[in-house]
Each structure stands twice: as structure tokens, then as C-alpha cells.
Amino acid sequence: MAATTYQRILLKLSGEVLAGPNESGIDGGMLDYLAKEVRSAVELGVQVAIVIGAGNIFRGVQGQQRGIPRASGDLMGMLGTVINSVALQETLESLGLPTLIQTAIPMGQIAEPFHRKKAVQALTQGTIVIFAAGTGHPFFTTDTAAALRAVEIEANAIFKATKVDGIYSADPVKDPNAVRFDRISYADVLQRQLKVMDLTAISFCLEHDMPIVVFDLKTPGNIQRILSGEAVGTVVHK
């Protein structure tokens, strides 16, 4: 087992990433890619938990535009995260990686209900734990669910996978003078209103001193590089 910077991480994936080059749905090639990136962390002896969004399937705010109450729309989104979790589970297990899905909403034929001690026990035994259905409550994003679960399982950090190589002072696509941060405090993220995670999630991480590593998921090997101590992406800290 190689020495790593973090022994237990929570990987936060957006639902959109599962769509790959498509606007929605689940792309098989992207699933394979993600599973191999997760495997690279496991091969280093790192315990991995995962939270996935459902933007590739449905968002609660989309429902409001169609006359669906936000609470009901959020419930639909939570169910979407379960679909994504099952798809990722099957792909991980095809690589020989043991997995466990725990859901915030009971659905016994698919997964077991969230149980902190069982999740931690599974992680210590080398099982990848996927937390589905967000927090189980409407009006909370999967960013907040990731922050909550990371603190509950005593992860060393949240790995926030994105489409860019870190946090910038402004949108680098729109502003050529935008500066990328190697490290930035929670307070600065909140003050600058940088779109790292939603404000509830950032505030929760600040309160519990949970580091967030924001990195480019599209670059193969980035997860392994971060775990090996390389300076990749941006670290949000106290």
C-alpha cells in the first residue's frame, strides 16, 4: 500500500458527468472511465465513498418550470441519484470492486438505508460506499449531502470533480484575466461567492473543517495524483 495524503475520501460527482458527451442520460464510456479512476484510488489503499447528483436525469428546479412543486421535484431528483448510483455500482463491480449503496430514502430491494456505522465498517473493509438519494429531504442539494456524509463518515476530504482545473477568481471562459487559486479559505469562497459548492455545503464544511479538493475530472489520473501528494486543482481550507 502506497503512502497517500488522504486515507478516506468522499468523491462528489455531478449527474451531468455521467452523460458524457450527451446532454442527458448515462454514457457507458464515461461510466467505464469513472470506475477506472475510482479503482486507481482503491489500488492505493484509499477508502472511497461517493455521492452522485442527478442533473443528467432531473433537477427539482426543472420541475418548477413545469408546474411541479419544488418538494416533489426534489424527490424526483433524489430518485434520479439512485439510478445513477446503481449504474455506477454495476460498472465498479464489473472491475471486481466491492460496493455498497446506502440510500437516504428506504428502498430495500435496491439498497440498504443509510447507516453511519455500517458505512464506516464497509469502508474499512475496502468496500466502496455510494450514498444515494441526497439527504432524503427536499431543498437540499447533493453538494450538501456530500458535505453531510463526509463529516458523518469522518472523511479526510471531499474530492469535488469538475470540468475545470480548480477554482478561479472569475469564470475563466468569460474572463481571460481570471486567476486560479492553489489554495483558498472557506471564508474567501463565501465572500467572493465563488461557485464551488452551494453556500450551505461550504458553510457546513467550514464549521466542521472539512477540506475540499476541486479538480478536473477530465484529466486521467488526477485522483491518483492528488492522493500521491501532487499539487492538483484547488484546496479549500480553514
Return binding residues for ATP.
12-15, 55, 59, 162, 168, 171
* Other CB atoms within 10 Å distance of the CB of residue 94: 11
- Measured over the CA atoms of residue 80, residue 214, residue 216 and residue 48, the dihedral's sign is negative
Q: For residue 21, with 0-12 CB atoms within 10 Å meaning exposed, 13-18 middle and 19 or more buried, which class applies?
A: exposed
Q: Taking a C-beta distance cutoff of 8 angstroms, is the pair 177, 231 a contact?
A: no
Binding-site residue numbers are: 12-15, 55, 59, 74, 135-142, 162, 168, 171
| Helix count and strand count (H, E) for the chain | 9, 11
Q: Which helix (DSSP H) or strand (DSSP E) does residue 63 occupy?
A: helix 60-64
Question: Which residues lie closer than 8 Å to 202 by C-beta, 6 or more apart?
Answer: 147, 186, 189, 190, 196, 212, 236
Give CA–CA dist 139/148, Å, rounded: 14
DSSP 215: E
Binding-site residue numbers for UMP are: 74, 135-142
Q: Which helix (DSSP H) or strand (DSSP E) does residue 223 occupy?
A: helix 222-227
